């Protein structure tokens, strides 16, 4: 029985030579073999040749666990997904962030290790069973995660960088988008188009995004000298459905708002659908704007005016920062806040009034 199982095992692992065997075959010590294989100068050309020869002959490939254990670093960054998404991969916003992070990691020769999220409430400790000390040099937190969890990671000695949100009142490094400025840009654009009754469909969440976008809307109204009225504001879940419901509600008031600021493109799509269902034309009867600029937004009907959040750039910068930290660089300004650009399409009714900062497509 034992023999069988041993064979089965062998069948899978086949023969995997170790450095020791390479060294033996080359007739040198393990240390020399190690140096030779990694191209260190302090080794004789002839010896090196012998070692290399032995290695290729045995099809030697180093075992990375051994190396990492000895070196103490892994040249890998771990990714933990936040609570505000179902799956990193399937979310059209976050997977762009991930793409940016992946590219930066690749450019630095780092791998990306993506922790499995077994369940909605998988604890960070469980995630560390996969993405933990030893296997990763640092952790990129994509999206919203409990503050305690992030501190726990940091207390473990793992460098941590948060992307797309930040932790107010802490020194946790983050790379985020300025959603307050984004909401301000959108609202201001509508004001410049002449709208005065601008409703706001915001996000009823307890992380900065909710408050920041709300503030941005308010800022823009107040600098235009307009009053803020809660009659025009709905704070709802971040989903097309919730935004559609809020829109139905807002549009049934008299007088109805002439424009609608929503805080994600997904919500804007829900809002437009609700408007259409009520027989209102977008943008003629009601202008609608969103935020994020997901891939879909250029292709809705009408195409959506939105703020393009630099998704890939956020990911890229966050990964670069994390790698720098893992290499011992001292933490720099805690939150790096990027700003997005207004993308003017047709859902706001701008016509050709494209702002200099904006772009017009499709």
Partner DNA sequence: TTGTAAGCGTTATCAC
Partner DNA sequence: GTGATAACGCTTACAA
* Chain residues that interact with a second copy, rule: CB under 8 A: 8-9, 12-16, 59, 61-69, 74-76, 87-90, 92, 95-96, 98-99, 102-103, 105-118, 125, 128-135, 152, 155-157, 159, 295-296, 299-300, 325-326, 328
Which partner, a second copy, DNA, none, binds residue 283 by CB below 5 to 8 Å per kind? none
Q: What minimum distance in Å lies between the beta carbon of 86 and a second copy?
A: 10
- Cα 145 to chain center, whole Å? 12
The partner residues of 76 in beta bridges, in order of sequence, read: 111
Q: Is 4 in the site for DNA (CB under 7 A)?
A: no
Distance CA 78, CA 111 (A): 9
Q: Is 300 in the site for DNA (CB under 7 A)?
A: no
Q: What minimum distance in Å lies between the beta carbon of 257 and a second copy?
A: 27
Which partner, a second copy, DNA, none, binds residue 275 by CB below 5 to 8 Å per kind? none
Q: What minimum distance in Å lies between the beta carbon of 66 and a second copy?
A: 6
Q: What minimum distance in Å lies between the beta carbon of 161 and DNA?
A: 23
Q: Is the CB of residue 174 less than 8 Å from the CB of residue 111? A: no
Q: Is 326 in the site for DNA (CB under 7 A)?
A: no
In angstroms, the first-to-last Cα distance of the chain is 68
Q: What minimum distance in Å lies between the beta carbon of 156 and DNA?
A: 11
Q: Which of 52, 58, 62, 75 binds DNA (CB under 7 A)?
A: 62
Q: What minimum distance in Å lies between the beta carbon of 191 and a second copy?
A: 30
Which residues between 22 and 61 bind DNA (CB under 7 A)?
Answer: 27-32, 34-35, 37-38, 42-44, 46-48, 60
Q: Which is nearer to DNA, 128 or 268 (CB)?
A: 128
Closest CA to 321 of 113, 132, 137: 137
Q: What minimum distance in Å lies between the beta carbon of 69 and DNA?
A: 4
Q: Which is nearer to DNA, 88 or 139 (CB)?
A: 139
Q: Which of 6, 53, 59, 66 binds DNA (CB under 7 A)?
A: 66
**Which residues have a Cβ under 8 Å from the Cβ of 35 and sit 6 or more positions away?**
42, 43
Distance CA 200, CA 229 (A): 10
Q: Using CB under 7 A as the criterion, which residues of the chain lie in contact with DNA when the complex forms?
A: 16, 18-20, 27-32, 34-35, 37-38, 42-44, 46-48, 60, 62-63, 65-67, 69-72, 134
């Amino acid at each position: 029985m034992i023999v069988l199982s041993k064979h089965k095992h062998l069948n899978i692992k086949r023969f995997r030579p170790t450095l020791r065997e390479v060294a033996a075959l080359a007739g040198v010590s393990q240390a020399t073999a190690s140096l030779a294989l990694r191209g260190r100068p302090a080794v004789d050309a002839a010896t090196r040749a012998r070692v290399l020869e032995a290695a290729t002959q045995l099809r030697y490939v180093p075992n990375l666990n051994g190396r990492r254990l000895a070196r103490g670093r892994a040249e890998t960054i771990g990714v933990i997904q936040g609570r505000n998404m179902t799956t990193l991969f399937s979310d059209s916003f976050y997977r762009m962030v991930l793409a940016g992070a992946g590219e930066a990691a690749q450019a630095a020769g780092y791998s990306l290790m993506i922790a499995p999220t077994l369940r909605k409430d998988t604890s960070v400790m469980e995630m560390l069973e996969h993405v933990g000390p030893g296997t990763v040099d640092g952790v990129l937190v994509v999206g919203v995660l409990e503050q305690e969890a992030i501190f726990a990671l940091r207390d473990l000695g793992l460098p941590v960088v948060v992307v797309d949100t930040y932790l107010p009142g802490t020194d946790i490094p983050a790379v985020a988008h300025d959603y307050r400025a984004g909401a301000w840009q959108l609202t201001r654009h509508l004001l410049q188009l002449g709208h005065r009754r601008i409703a706001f469909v915001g996000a009823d969440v307890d992380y900065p995004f909710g408050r920041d976008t709300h503030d941005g809307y308010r800022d823009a109204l107040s600098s235009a000298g307009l009053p803020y009225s809660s009659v025009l504001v709905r704070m709802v879940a971040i989903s097309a459905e919730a935004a559609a419901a809020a829109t139905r509600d807002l549009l049934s008031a008299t007088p109805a708002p002439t424009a609608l600021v929503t805080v994600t493109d997904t919500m804007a799509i829900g809002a437009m659908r609700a408007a259409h269902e009520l027989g209102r034309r977008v943008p003629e009867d009601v202008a609608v704007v969103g935020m994020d600029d997901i891939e879909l937004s250029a292709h809705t009907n009408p195409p959506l005016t939105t703020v393009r959040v630099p998704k890939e750039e956020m990911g890229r910068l966050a990964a670069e920062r994390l790698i720098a930290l893992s290499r011992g660089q001292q933490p720099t300004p805690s939150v790096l806040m990027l700003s997005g650009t207004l993308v003017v399409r047709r859902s706001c009714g701008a016509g050709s009034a494209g702002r200099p900062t904006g772009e017009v497509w499709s």
